[in-house]
Amino acid sequence: MSENKAFFPMFIDLTDKRILVIGAGKIAVRRIRTLLLFTEQVEVTARKFLPEIQELAAKGKVKVVESTFGEELMDGVFMVLACTDDKRLNSQICATAKKRNILSNNCSDQTECDFFFPSVIKKDELVIGINAGGTDHKKVKEVRRKIERITGYNEADYNRHQKEYTGTDTKRDGKKVHRGSQSGS
């Protein structure tokens, strides 16, 4: 990807599309939770799953395949997200997807992404996707927080994610509060 290349923000109907996420760690969970605002179910394959994945599976929100990655998992899939902590495997997943003309995203190497995963703000019918062309992930997060102060609410609950993994919640004013002492949003 050349420097300063901007990606077009396309808003896709995901309701009937099969989405495969490989890996079920922190990044996968964050992205699955965002995707589930736009579709009923996401397919996930990994060797180890964070508890939240099991909870989503129990609710029918994710279909879990406990396995190491195999190409057959991509049959009939619209979009693949490589979210493992194995960079070589993530690259292999994207290469396989490209051969099959399946849209792919590699969370550990932006040069291999057909599309970037946006930071999302959703409030009723309003959807805002934020991206910095891969140049600054932290800036994207900061802009998301600024826009959340304007919309006042975000169905994509990034704060809940923080609570679950750090035991603290960052409120909109930026102050940290301990889990349970204040509601997340």
Ligand X SMILES: C[C@@]1(CC(=O)O)c2cc3[nH]c(cc4nc(cc5[nH]c(cc(n2)[C@H]1CCC(=O)O)[C@@](C)(CC(=O)O)[C@@H]5CCC(=O)O)C(CC(=O)O)=C4CCC(=O)O)c(CCC(=O)O)c3CC(=O)O
Q: Which amino acid is at 114?
A: D
| Contact with ligand NAI (CB under 6 A) among 24, 35, 36, 113 | 24
How far is 169 from 160, CA to CA, in rounded Å? 7
Contact of residue 85 among ligand X, ligand NAI, none (CB under 5-8 Å per partner type): ligand NAI
Based on the shown chain and the rule CB under 6 A, indicate whether residue 166 belongs to the binding site for ligand X: no
| Contact with ligand NAI (CB under 6 A) among 17, 26, 63, 160 | 26
Q: Does an H or E element contain 19, and which?
A: strand 19-22
Based on the shown chain and the rule CB under 6 A, indicate whether residue 86 belongs to the binding site for ligand NAI: yes
Based on the shown chain and the rule CB under 6 A, indicate whether residue 47 belongs to the binding site for ligand NAI: yes
In this structure, which long-range contacts are made by residues 84-92, counting pairs with CB atoms below 8 Å and at least 24 apart in sequence?
84/22, 84/23, 84/25, 84/46, 85/23, 85/25, 89/22, 90/22
| Contact with ligand X (CB under 6 A) among 140, 154, 159, 163 | 140
Binding residues for ligand NAI, per CB under 6 A?
Answer: 22-28, 45-48, 68-69, 83-86, 89, 107-108
